Structure 1
Amino acid sequence: MANTAKFDRRDVLESATRLFWQKGYHGTSTRDIQQATNLKPGSIYAAFGSKSGLFNEVLHFYAESMAGQLSQILSQHSAVTEGLRAFLHHVILEGGDDAPSELCLLAKSLSELEEGEAALLSETRKLLAATEQRFQKALAQAVANGELPADTDTALAARQFQIQLIGLRSYLRATGNKDAVASLITQLFR
């Protein structure tokens, strides 16, 4: 009979996500992972293969969580642009009290990973590109709804939106100035 996991994978991924988000990939030790997840080294390696295997799943878990938040927030607004603005507000200003870092885990990881960690670096880039594609899809809907001009370059607008998201999170981390960030978010799509 196969040995089945005696833990909730989602709970482990949530704990590991918070840990990696707070300490970074290189700053997180195997002992840290054990303490955060309540798993023994053998269980971690059996379930995820390695620290990098766990981190890869964490990156996907984080990206899927962000995609779910985007979808949920967009569904709560009749105007896509209002939904995108609310998403920024939620992720940057409201989620910050619970998040272990003001920075996006993907952007933080991209800046930390080295070329020798090519697989993780490539995966992080793919996940950021997929996020940008989600923004482009939403912006295309905003164009179709007449919220944005018909000649809007949605690929460029999605890239700018992603840069705003990463930049505003970094600015908040650097300054702690929530009022300035809130004002900048309000100015988007005007």
Structure 2
Amino acid sequence: MRSAEFDREQVLRAAIKAFVAKGYTKTSMQDLKKATGLHPGSIYCAFESKQGLMLAAIEQYEKDKSAEFETFFVDQPRILDGILAYLENTVSEVTAIGHDCQKACLTQKALSELSDNEPEIEIALKDSIQQWQHGFVEVFQKAQQAGEISGDRSAEQRTQSLVMGILGMRTYAQTQADKTLLTQLAHQLFDDVCR
């Protein structure tokens, strides 16, 4: 059997949007067919199962988010300015209006709905979050070395507070999507974490 030819990254990004919109459990093969343009047989051929597609989607999501993360720290006068830019971008994401907007985070959405019968996906999601956190730890370490923040709290402690705040802000935004308010909260989070 000849393997289906398609743009893998494009398909995975379309699957990510479908999984974020409905959640992993509620996303049907028909939803995935509509989102990706692939027939279920092609999805099974390429990814073996819906679970295989989700695992590949998590991997693609992590790659995309890691590449995006790096852009926040390019050409910034201070390392900490990159963290503030990241927070402001998060506010823009969760308050965006339009059909193509991705307000939710794939990892957060999937973790909130998965049950114990999907251990592979749960492990992949937790690994993805660990990679995200590691990026912040490195940034805080660099900021401490540059003298932008004190060493009173470790980079790990600052990261834990920041990540908890970001996840909380994303959840809060689902019921309170006021951009001005969320921007104020993002700045308050930044100040609390970086003081």
Q: What TM-score comes out, normalization by structure 1 length? A: 0.92
Unaligned runs of 5+ in 2: none
Cα offset, 1:153, TM superposition: 0.7
User: Residue in 1 aligned with 2:44?
Assistant: 45
| Aligned residue runs from structure 1 range 130-169, under 5 A | 130-169=131-170
| Aligned residue runs from structure 1 range 30-69, under 5 A | 30-69=29-68
| Aligned residue runs from structure 1 range 103-142, under 5 A | 103-142=104-143
RMSD (Å) for aligned C-alpha atoms: 1.7
Structure 1 residue runs of 4 or more that deviate by more than 4 Å after TM superposition = 98-101
SS in 1 for 2:108: helix
Residue 180 (str. 1) matches residue 181 (str. 2): yes
For residues 183 and 166 of structure 1, the distance between their equivalents in structure 2, rounded to whole angstroms, comes to 16
For residues 4 and 186 of structure 1, the distance between their equivalents in structure 2, rounded to whole angstroms, comes to 49
Unaligned runs of 5+ in 1: none
1:95-122 Cα shifts (integer Å, max 9, x gaps)? 6426645332111111111111111111
Cα offset, 1:185, TM superposition: 1.6
For residues 171 and 94 of structure 1, the distance between their equivalents in structure 2, rounded to whole angstroms, comes to 13
For residues 40 and 5 of structure 2, the distance between their equivalents in structure 1, rounded to whole angstroms, comes to 14
Instruction: Rate the CA distance shift 1:87–1:180 in 2: closer, same or farther, 3 A.
Output: same
Identity %: 28
SS in 2 for 1:102: coil
For residues 152 and 132 of structure 1, the distance between their equivalents in structure 2, rounded to whole angstroms, comes to 16
Most deviating of 85-94 and 160-169? 85-94
Q: Kindly provide the amino acid, as one letter, of the partner of residue 110 in structure 1.
A: L
Q: Kindly provide the amino acid, as one letter, of the partner of residue 72 in structure 1.
A: T
Q: Kindly provide the amino acid, as one letter, of the partner of residue 148 in structure 1.
A: I
For residues 186 and 110 of structure 1, the distance between their equivalents in structure 2, rounded to whole angstroms, comes to 26
For residues 38 and 132 of structure 1, the distance between their equivalents in structure 2, rounded to whole angstroms, comes to 33
What is the number of residues matched between the two proteins? Answer: 189
Q: Kindly provide the amino acid, as one letter, of the partner of residue 33 in structure 2.
A: Q
Q: What TM-score comes out, normalization by structure 2 length? A: 0.90
Cα offset, 1:94, TM superposition: 4.3
Residue 13 (str. 1) matches residue 8 (str. 2): no
Cα offset, 1:74, TM superposition: 1.0
1:108-156 Cα shifts (integer Å, max 9, x gaps)? 1111111111111111111111111111011101111111103331111
For residues 10 and 85 of structure 1, the distance between their equivalents in structure 2, rounded to whole angstroms, comes to 29
For residues 68 and 75 of structure 2, the distance between their equivalents in structure 1, rounded to whole angstroms, comes to 11
